[in-house]
Structure 1
Amino acid sequence: MLCFRVLRNGRHLATAGVPGFGVLTSFLTWVRRPDDESRDVPELTLHVGGSMGREYREHLTWCDVNIRAGDVLTVEVREDLEAEPPWERRVDAEVGLDEVARLQLRRKGLEAQLAEVNEELRERGAA
């Protein structure tokens, strides 16, 4: 199995791998927005995760940590290691649903979002 062995400043963070078919990712993200707390303190994070299962609906996370300027990150791509269990597993709510049930679930989610938007508009006096 192909694995990502991830280190920060020489210290082990995770060994991630997905057996069979799947997706394995390692993202380094920097975010600085003008309108929230990240304006003064940008977000810098490392995420190691992936997905597997039929239609890749089981999502896995091995590492989700804050990073600082000066950190040295290493991602080794190895085939001679065994993956550690992920610290988080999440299965999509849509797994096993037929198309009608999947659409009904999406509608419910969109209705909840619309209710939030309407509430925010009311609070701002724009509704």
Structure 2
Amino acid sequence: MRLYVPLTLSRLAEAYRAGELAPGPLVAYAVTPALREWYVSDDIEELEYAALNRAAMASLRLVAVDPKAARRRVVLAADVPDGAAVADPDRGLDQGALGEVRIAEALPMGKVAAV
């Protein structure tokens, strides 16, 4: 499963130094059933792009609440086993939570496919 993890540049630097993004649970975005239904497409590339954009918006929110953060969006794209990320069923219909998932464990930087 491909995940998109919103970050700030300082958080990315911390993860790079530590060799992992921790501690869990981490908020990420992925192609979830709710995102599929909202986007109404079967094209996986379009769906992943929608999840990436939702993570980019979440990164902007992280930058907005941290006055010391560099004004840059950062999103990590990572591959994790299916089932490693779980969507909150109580927020499934919340427009702000479309595609949002949680990762319980730390994310090793070796799983990162792109920044």
Normalization by structure 1: what TM-score? 0.30
Normalization by structure 2: what TM-score? 0.32
Q: Whose helix proportion is higher, 1 or 2?
A: 2
Greater relative contact order: 1 or 2 (C-alpha under 8 angstroms, separation 6 or more)?
Answer: 2
Whose Rg is larger?
1
Q: Whose strand proportion is higher, 1 or 2?
A: 1
